[in-house]
Structure 1
Amino acid sequence: MAVEKARIGFIGLGIMGTAMTLRLLEQGWPVTVWNLEPERVPPLVAAGAVSAPSPAAVAAASDIVILCVLHTEAVRSCVFGAQGVAEEAAAGKILIDHSTIAPEATRAMAQQLQGETGMHWVDAPVSGGPLQSRAGTLTVMAGGEAADIASIRPLMADLASNFTHIGPSGAGQTAKMINQLIVGSGYVVLAEALTLAEAAGINAQALPQCLAGGHADSSLLKQLYPQMQARAFEPPRSYARQLLKDLKAVKAYAHALQLSLPMLEAATRRYTDYVEQGNGMKDTASIVNSYRSSPESAA
């Protein structure tokens, strides 16, 4: 199947899904969309997308169906539920799941979809926020069959600057778990670094430049730390509840492998406490607010 400018379906128009859909429309891909909350659809229709009444209708109108939804059960519902993708799936079509879900669930659903309908599944979770989505510079880690990976590369070229086939079905989700382990722990470490810098009275704003080129340098230090330092959390770029969901999934996966990962446990506890205090829909980086405010930050 020729994939270049194939018909694309996009299910899940949250912060990331909306940004990715706009990017695809700008790059000339025809996109049919559906979202559980219908109020998110009209702005994308205004940008050139076509609205569909159900995931099944999206699949009927598309060669490649992309999912970017909240969790495993949302994926299962969109694919196998009433008026789900599976009702209009067919051999030759491909489902790309950008959601972050459990590897074992991915493998089971991919096998079920292919066995029942002939439609293939690529698990392709992403790293990067809405700004990277709009710029087409996401990092995408993919699991699936080599032929399917090859067939979607033209599409991924417009969404990602780093698209890696890391292994068979479920491997992309495993790589994303590792990514979230690093990111979740990193958010907490940076929040503590900023808290320490402000309490010590040094020029906290200058810290990323001060540490540039050293072992502490990273994209998180360059991009996330300034956001934390400025307390620039509106509108949210991502939600604390979403990272907590991911950290809990990594924790469960590590326990299934009989691994003890203390850094992961600490980060999960910190986000659990923060979300349980009513901060689930706040920006993920606002975790810094769970630490003692310094005189500088309170001024």
Structure 2
Amino acid sequence: MSNSVTVAFLGMGTMGAPMAANLARHGHALTVWNRTPDRPGLTLAQAAGAKVANSIAEAVSQAQIIFTCLGDVPDVTAVLLGEGGVLENAPPHSLVVDFSTIGRETAVFLAQQLQARSLRFLDVPVSGGDVGAQQGTLTMMVGGDPTDFAQVLPYLQAMGKNITYCGPVGSGQAVKLCNQVLAALHMVALCEALTLAEAQGLDPQLVVQVCGTGAAGSWALSHLGPKILDGNLEPGFMVQHILKDLRLVQSTIQTQGLNLQGVALAEQRFQQVGDLPHGLGQGTQAMIRTYRENL
């Protein structure tokens, strides 16, 4: 598909680069930017047909749709609102679509700041890991104006498979935090099930094969269980990122006065991983280290 709409994509990390590459492969006129210029993701996007910009201003000055996929709240805020950022350089009425996980409050704040300068905003956090980004099968949770969602849907369909409009700005973030609670606790369950299997003298592969076909089946069991058994702790989604997301969950829990003890347990386990050598940069399946290393 090709069209005359100019698109910018800011953030060429583990998720952003393959997402941008999928956009380029679908024929969209795409310019990409990354804060660190030697990232391999820039090469990936460029090979798919994207143009590489040297600054945010260069990337967005002619863009009608601007995608961002960044690490944490300060990163998103700096890129969108900071000096030399999107707010200063994007044309009026451009649509900003952020794929980062930043929480409802930040999404609403960013939308208000951008709207004051005649820019539109959608929060579209994603789930599916690096494999989903590479294969264009991400789950996407959309918050914002439904007219803006309709405009950007064809672009989202180049990157995702399960795309759901969740409500006003911040609604995508709200659903994503629920998603991260499930993902975090599924990892606890997976690690404890494998630990129990080993203690009983079972081949843990049986747990992955048999339990994955029944009521206990989950994405974590089917996709990350085999990685644990192979000793593959390389990141599809880093421990440092799930810790950031759980921090956002805890903030919401405190605001709402909830008592979610499972979240606290998962956060504790992931923090233990983060305290281990190289732990923060490993995949979430590295939680198994906290069981095998007796922490």
TM-score by length of 2: 0.93
Partner of 1:292: 292
Structure 2 CA distance, aligned partners of 1:5 and 1:211?
Answer: 49
Structure 1 CA distance, aligned partners of 2:14 and 2:198?
Answer: 31
1:202-213 superposed matches below 5 A: 202-213=202-213
Partner of 1:9: 8
Residue 209 of structure 1 aligns to which amino acid in structure 2? Answer: Q
Structure 1 CA distance, aligned partners of 2:212 and 2:51?
Answer: 45
Residue 37 of structure 2 aligns to which amino acid in structure 1? Answer: P
Partner of 2:73: 72
Structure 2 CA distance, aligned partners of 1:83 and 1:202?
Answer: 58
Q: Deviations over 1:25-74 (max 9, x none)?
A: 22212211111111013443343221112222221132111110011111
Unaligned runs of 5+ in 2: none
Offset, 1:233: 2.1
Structure 2 CA distance, aligned partners of 1:233 and 1:216?
Answer: 23
Residue 62 of structure 2 aligns to which amino acid in structure 1? Answer: A
Partner of 1:166: 166
Partner of 1:239: 238
Residues 122 and 148 of structure 2 are in contact (CA less than 8 Å); yes or no, is this contact kept in structure 1?
Answer: yes
Offset, 1:277: 2.5
1:116-135 superposed matches below 5 A: 116=117, 118-135=118-135
Residues 3 and 29 of structure 2 are in contact (CA less than 8 Å); yes or no, is this contact kept in structure 1?
Answer: no
Q: Deviations over 1:103-122 (max 9, x none)?
A: 11110110110112x11000
SS at match of 2:63: coil
Residue 283 of structure 1 aligns to which amino acid in structure 2? Answer: G
Q: Deviations over 1:73-106 (max 9, x none)?
A: 1111001111101112233310000000021111
Structure 2 CA distance, aligned partners of 1:223 and 1:5?
Answer: 39
1:214-253 superposed matches below 5 A: 214-234=214-234, 236-253=235-252
Partner of 2:282: 282
Partner of 1:26: 25
Q: Deviations over 1:115-158 (max 9, x none)?
A: 12x11000000001122112211000010001001111111111
Structure 2 CA distance, aligned partners of 1:54 and 1:230?
Answer: 41
Residues 64 and 91 of structure 2 are in contact (CA less than 8 Å); yes or no, is this contact kept in structure 1?
Answer: no
Structure 2 CA distance, aligned partners of 1:274 and 1:54?
Answer: 35
Q: Deviations over 1:217-237 (max 9, x none)?
A: 122221121111222223x22
Residues 10 and 66 of structure 1 are in contact (CA less than 8 Å); yes or no, is this contact kept in structure 2?
Answer: yes
Count, aligned residues: 290
Higher relative contact order (CA 8 A, sep 6+): 1
Partner of 1:273: 272
Offset, 1:252: 1.3
- The answer to which of 270-279 and 160-169 deviates more is 270-279
Offset, 1:214: 2.2
SS at match of 1:32: strand
TM-score by length of 1: 0.92
Partner of 1:297: none
Residue 8 of structure 2 aligns to which amino acid in structure 1? Answer: G
Structure 2 CA distance, aligned partners of 1:209 and 1:14?
Answer: 32
Partner of 1:259: 258
Residue 197 of structure 2 aligns to which amino acid in structure 1? Answer: A
Structure 2 CA distance, aligned partners of 1:293 and 1:201?
Answer: 18
Partner of 1:62: 63
Unaligned runs of 5+ in 1: 295-299
Residue 84 of structure 1 aligns to which amino acid in structure 2? Answer: G
> Within the alignment, does 1:141 sit opposite 2:141 as a pair?
yes
Structure 2 CA distance, aligned partners of 1:200 and 1:34?
Answer: 51
Cα RMSD after superposing both structures? 1.7
Offset, 1:19: 1.2
Offset, 1:5: 6.1
- The answer to which of 42-51 and 95-104 deviates more is 42-51
Partner of 1:37: 36
Residues 63 and 90 of structure 2 are in contact (CA less than 8 Å); yes or no, is this contact kept in structure 1?
Answer: no
Partner of 2:108: 107
Structure 2 CA distance, aligned partners of 1:89 and 1:61?
Answer: 7
Partner of 1:152: 152
Q: Deviations over 1:245-269 (max 9, x none)?
A: 1111101111111001000000001
Structure 1 CA distance, aligned partners of 2:233 and 2:275?
Answer: 19
Structure 2 CA distance, aligned partners of 1:188 and 1:270?
Answer: 8
Structure 1 CA distance, aligned partners of 2:177 and 2:53?
Answer: 32
Structure 2 CA distance, aligned partners of 1:19 and 1:44?
Answer: 7
